[in-house]
């Protein structure tokens, strides 16, 4: 495959950026998208040019590091797929591909295609954990949990925190991410003692980070590689309203 790439290049967070054109020649359709970029970078280095900086880690669709907007779609055209699991057979020979970083105030560009997503870490630190003393670890079957609750918790816990939901939303809302973290604990007995303070703390931190509001257009669900349902946003809203009236735990 021969492809034309337009890639966002930005040397530092404060430097101006621009789209630069590259040719990706003789690319195997069995390559992943990141492997294609590796090949382009190898050829750039061989010519003495600066390699394209992009985030990656596990390359197994688990870590959420491979954040790229590909032809206007976070993670590219395939639904339920991270960039590292996207293969070049999803494109056609001769295609023109535009590659950009996440675009959000709360995700400032660090360099090229790399953005700072530490805002998500601070939201997690504001409440996405269980801190009460639980004693020794109980047997797995010691606390009965209904199949429905277990499924909802597991589905929410599938969120990998990549930020595609933010990149897809016209308001750069983080409601799907925060909703997933709240729902993960909401359906488990261990999450009940801190459920009100969790909702209040995480929403407050989300607002402080500069994320926008949700307008329920579901772009976030459409691009989520873990297929998180927007139902978690409804659960987050319910928990936040409830906690706002009752207040945090004493």
Tell me the two tokens of residue 110. 């660090």
Helix (H, G, I), strand (E, B) or coil at 87: strand
Q: What per-residue confidence (pLDDT) applies to 78? A: 96
Q: How far apart are CA 69 and CA 104, in angstroms?
A: 12
Contact status, residue 21 vs residue 99, Cβ threshold 8 Å = no
Per-residue pLDDT of the chain (250 residues; tens, 9 = 90+): 999 999 999 999 999 999 999 999 999 999 999 999 999 999 999 999 999 999 999 999 999 999 999 999 999 999 999 999 999 999 999 999 999 999 999 999 999 999 999 999 999 999 999 886 666 766 766 778 899 999 999 999 999 999 999 999 999 999 999 999 999 999 998 899 999 999 999 999 999 999 999 999 999 999 999 999 999 999 999 999 999 999 998 7
Tell me the two tokens of residue 123. 């939201």
Residue carrying the six token digits 């906690």: 243
Q: How far is CA 250 from CA 19, 125, 152, 245, 246, in A?
A: 53, 19, 28, 14, 11
Domain boundaries along the sequence of the chain: 3-110, 118-246
Q: What per-residue confidence (pLDDT) applies to 125? A: 96
Predicted confidence (pLDDT) per residue in 25-66, tens digit? 999 999 999 999 999 999 999 999 999 999 999 999 999 999
Q: How far apart are CA 231 and CA 69, in angstroms?
A: 25
Contact status, residue 8 vs residue 113, Cβ threshold 8 Å = yes
Q: At the fourth CATH level, which superfamily is domain 3-110?
A: Beta-grasp domain (3.10.20.30)
| Helix and strand element counts for the chain (H, E) | 8, 7
Q: What per-residue confidence (pLDDT) applies to 201? A: 97
Q: How far apart are CA 15 and CA 242, in angstroms?
A: 44
Q: Name the architecture of domain 118-246.
A: Orthogonal Bundle (1.10)
Query: E strands within 16-68?
Result: 18-24
Helix (H, G, I), strand (E, B) or coil at 96: strand
Write down the pTM of the prediction: 0.93
Q: What per-residue confidence (pLDDT) applies to 137? A: 67
Q: How far apart are CA 191 and CA 188, in angstroms?
A: 5
Contacts of 211 (CB under 8 A, 6+ apart): 104, 105, 106, 119, 166, 172, 173, 174, 175
Q: What per-residue confidence (pLDDT) applies to 136? A: 74
118-246 matches 3-110 in CATH topology: no
């Amino acid at each position: 495959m021969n492809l034309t790439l337009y890639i966002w290049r930005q040397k530092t967070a404060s430097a101006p950026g621009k789209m630069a054109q590259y040719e990706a020649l003789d690319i195997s359709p069995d390559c992943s998208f990141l492997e294609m970029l590796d090949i382009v970078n190898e050829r750039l280095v061989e010519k003495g040019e600066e390699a394209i900086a992009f985030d990656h880690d596990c390359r197994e669709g688990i870590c959420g590091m491979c954040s790229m907007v590909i032809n206007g779609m976070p993670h590219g055209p395939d639904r339920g797929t991270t960039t590292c699991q996207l293969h070049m057979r999803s494109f056609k020979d001769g295609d023109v591909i535009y590659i950009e970083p996440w675009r959000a105030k709360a995700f400032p560009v660090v360099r090229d295609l790399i953005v700072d997503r530490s805002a998500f870490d601070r939201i997690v630190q504001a409440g996405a954990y269980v801190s009460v003393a639980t004693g020794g670890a109980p047997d797995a079957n010691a606390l009965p949990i209904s199949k429905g609750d277990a499924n909802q918790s597991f589905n929410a816990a599938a969120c990998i925190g990549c930020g595609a939901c933010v990149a897809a939303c016209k308001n750069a809302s983080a409601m799907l991410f925060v909703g997933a973290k709240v729902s993960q604990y909401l359906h488990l007995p261990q999450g009940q003692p801190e459920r009100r303070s969790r909702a209040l703390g995480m929403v407050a931190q989300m607002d402080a980070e500069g994320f926008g509001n949700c307008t329920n257009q579901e772009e976030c669900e459409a691009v989520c590689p873990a297929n998180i349902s927007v139902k978690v946003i409804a659960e987050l809203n319910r928990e936040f309203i409830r906690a706002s009236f009752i207040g945090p735990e004493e």
